[in-house]
Amino acid sequence: SGLVLVKNPHLDLMEEDVLYHLDLGTKTHDLPAMFGDIKFVCVGGSPNRMRAFAQFMQRELGLPGAGEDVADICAGSDRYAMYRAGPVLSVSHGMGIPSISIMLHELIKLLHHAKCRDVTIIRIGTSGGLGIEAGSVVITDTAVDSCFQPRFEQVVLGDVVVRSTELDKGLAEELLACSRDLPDFPTLIGHTMCTYDFYEGQGRLDGALCSFSSEKKLQYLRRAYDAGVRNIEMESTAFAALCGLCGLKGECCCFHLL
């Protein structure tokens, strides 16, 4: 049917569903009227970047008010920011798996309550590259964990639940085809490694703690490269798992800074 799915039977028993961190709710807002025609959702870490992206989309789509400031739909919350440009929703998710996970739970419920159909969701952001030139864009085919496995582990009531992190291959190829119109940005498809930490988890030598040598770090990164990893960030496994389970066509598309 193309509808966004929620896999929670308890929601049907609730008189009201409050999306706490988005400052939205089923009783306080007419979610179908506000969001029912959304077709694309782009998410990224920084509120400022997502505002700039919404303004960019306004100009690209030739929408009324293009060039003006855009209103933050979640202004009543200081957790996330949300902007709209026609059929495109632009939402910040903060840094790391816990932050993006909370936002995605509430975003997916929002799309469900709004009765949205055929929604495509793309995470746009920055990442560290592995064996690729600076300025490249990596389109993720599979998100992998720190052991290079395509899985997202979530502890639920004391049990470790393992979820798949496959992303939409067709969408990845579609994005790669679009990239051919942008020769200034070398673009490739590869595995994205998702870590729980920016410093030790990504093999950095400049954190407050470091228990390994530069040689050990390079050995690890070579193993990652040999396993197909081309960039490293901190959200993709949770993103892939939640999108896959809830019927959202999802993809990660990250700009490699270093």
What's residue 183's pLDDT?
80
pLDDT, tens digit (0-9, with 9 covering 90-100), for 67-102 = 788 999 999 999 999 999 999 999 999 999 999 999
Mean pLDDT of the chain: 94
Task: Count other Cβ atoms within 10 Å, centred on residue 206.
Answer: 6
pLDDT, tens digit (0-9, with 9 covering 90-100), for 220-239 = 999 999 999 999 999 999 99
Ranges in the chain annotated CATH 3.40.50.1580: 1-118, 125-257
Whole-angstrom Cα distance, residue 221 to residue 146?
Answer: 11
Whether residue 103 contacts residue 43, with contact meaning beta carbons closer than 8 Å, is answered with yes
Q: Check residue 5 and report its DSSP letter.
A: P
Question: How many helical (H) and strand (E) elements, i.e. helices and strands, does the chain have?
Answer: 6, 12
Tell me which long-range contacts 67-70 makes (C-beta under 8 A, separation of at least 24).
none
- Known binding site for substrate: residues? 202, 204
For residues 18-46, average pLDDT: 97
> In the CATH scheme, what is the code of domain 125-257?
3.40.50.1580
Under the banding of pLDDT at 50, 70 and 90, the label for residue 258 is: low
- Known binding site: residues? 79, 123-126, 202, 204
With 0.75 as the threshold, say if the pTM is over it.
yes
For residues 194-223, average pLDDT: 96
> In the CATH scheme, what is the code of domain 1-118?
3.40.50.1580
- Known binding site for phosphate: residues? 79, 123-126
